[in-house]
Structure 1
Amino acid sequence: MSEHQRRRIYLMRHGNVTYFDSQGKPFLPEQVPLNELGQAQASAAGKIFAREKLQFDRVIVSGLPRTVETATRVLAETGQQVALDHWPELVELRGGKLSAIPDDSLREAFVGAFDGVVPEDRRFLGGESIGELMDRVHPCIDRLRADKSWDTVLMVLHGGVNRAILSYALTNQRLFLGNLAQTAGCINAVDVGEAQADWVVRVVNFSAVSSLQGESRHTTMEVLLDQYLQSRKRQN
């Protein structure tokens, strides 16, 4: 291998899911499947990969149903038979108990973990901290890069996890850039070389169903906060 030859990571966020019912009550995030839009997003991403005739040596998912279903739909479009590697260390940021968060702290709890350069002690929904997320994500990426058996890998993960990976790639430091948008079903492309600092970020947050993403200017967590507030209002 030439010292300048790099390998490619295609990093996806899972397709859209429904986290709250029509009354604003949360579903169990560990169990939610893709909704109709999410299924369309996953299949559309798969068609992009198929059109480019891309072949994956490995396909890595967190193991949560929404990542498994997204990856399965992508592979159905590419026609590849690749076993899914489940890496549970790459599950999404773990939130705490929503009902325990005071009303005046809700906005910070929902959106604070994705606000600029995020402090490591900032917690997501009163649960896991950004530092704890990086503690489990960075070693996974280092381990993947140390494995020389692949040239092209597909990773189907989560919005927070993807931000941790992209932040690592962009800075080669222990930083978390919360304002890197990750639309449901999006595709990122990152090249990695032999040297630890050899990262090249090629594509960020490409949506196969909405290339210019003109339909909304809200973040995912802002939308989810509004949905959850419906439930809080009814309870009060």
Structure 2
Amino acid sequence: MASLNGFAEIVVVRHGETSWNASKIIQGHLNSELNEIGRQQATAVAVRLSKEPQFVAIYSSDLKRAAETAEKIANSCGLPEVNFDPALRERHLGELQGLALRDAAKLKAEAYQCFLSKSSDQNIPGGGESLNQLYDRCTSCVERIAKKHKGERAIVVTHGGVLRELYKRAAPNSKFPNGTILNTSVNVIQISENGKWSIKMWGDISHLQDISVIKSTIAEDKNFYAV
């Protein structure tokens, strides 16, 4: 492996598909398990990462869908434990959590409008976070991880909403690519000693070539990541 010259290389993976993803149910901080496709995806990304240059640690959201994905990766990569951190959780979506996306506008109209708001400081009724709160929470967590691993590679397993905020931090002047974040996509961010972020790879799913994925469960618009 080429020297990282003081950079920390953080490989960020979205969790595998869940039955709630497939049914378009808003998850947020609620727990849901991987479905059979999700387990296949998690196994595939784990095998892929096990063939890459050595990782020194793995960190994960403590929500079940991310934790299960992370455990498979840790086992394949020979990492002794997963470091769980609630700062890597999906955005808390308040009253919308547990609702089917198609029903949210009717059942929780105010919360749904807050969810659609273009204002980054808009909270969602029911304890939901603003995008600014999510951004601060997850970017500061990844920066802490980077400081621990200068010149090393570490894995982070997290969620679609978090990945959007990490992209925003690393490429603030770039439009988010295609509006999609696929389950178990591999995204590589390098963070320098002076705190500069850059994107080395984004949205790679080459490990899923032989796995059947229902397009409707992964084709996301800007508001669908939380499902």
The two structures have a TM-score, normalised by structure 1, of 0.73
Q: Name the CA shift for 1:27/1:196 in 2 (closer, same or farther; >3 Å).
A: closer
Q: Name the CA shift for 1:203/1:224 in 2 (closer, same or farther; >3 Å).
A: closer
CA contact (8 A) 1:70 1:156 kept: yes
Are 1:69 and 2:68 matched, yes or no?
A: yes
- Counterpart CA distance in 1 for 2:18 and 2:84 is 20
How much does 1:119 deviate? Answer: 3.0
CA contact (8 A) 1:57 1:150 kept: no
Q: Deviations over 1:65-123 (max 9, x none)?
A: 11111011123333x0321111111210111223795429499659737xxxx531245
Q: Name the CA shift for 1:200/1:134 in 2 (closer, same or farther; >3 Å).
A: closer
- Counterpart CA distance in 1 for 2:169 and 2:18 is 26
How much does 1:5 deviate? Answer: 4.1
What's the counterpart of residue 81 of structure 2? 83
SS of aligned partner of 2:163? helix
Q: Name the CA shift for 1:55/1:122 in 2 (closer, same or farther; >3 Å).
A: same
Q: Name the CA shift for 1:124/1:42 in 2 (closer, same or farther; >3 Å).
A: farther
Larger radius of gyration: 1
- Counterpart CA distance in 1 for 2:160 and 2:194 is 26
What's the counterpart of residue 155 of structure 2? 154
- Counterpart CA distance in 1 for 2:61 and 2:226 is 22
What's the counterpart of residue 49 of structure 2? 49
CA contact (8 A) 1:14 1:66 kept: yes
What's the counterpart of residue 128 of structure 1? 129
How do residues 91-130 of structure 1 correspond to structure 2 at under 5 angstroms?
91-98=89-96, 102-103=105-106, 105=109, 109=113, 112=116, 118-123=118-123, 127-130=128-131
What's the counterpart of residue 166 of structure 1? 167
How much does 1:169 deviate? Answer: 1.2
Are 1:34 and 2:34 matched, yes or no?
A: yes
CA root-mean-square deviation: 3.9
Count, aligned residues: 213
How much does 1:45 deviate? Answer: 0.6
What's the counterpart of residue 16 of structure 2? 15
Q: Name the CA shift for 1:224/1:28 in 2 (closer, same or farther; >3 Å).
A: closer
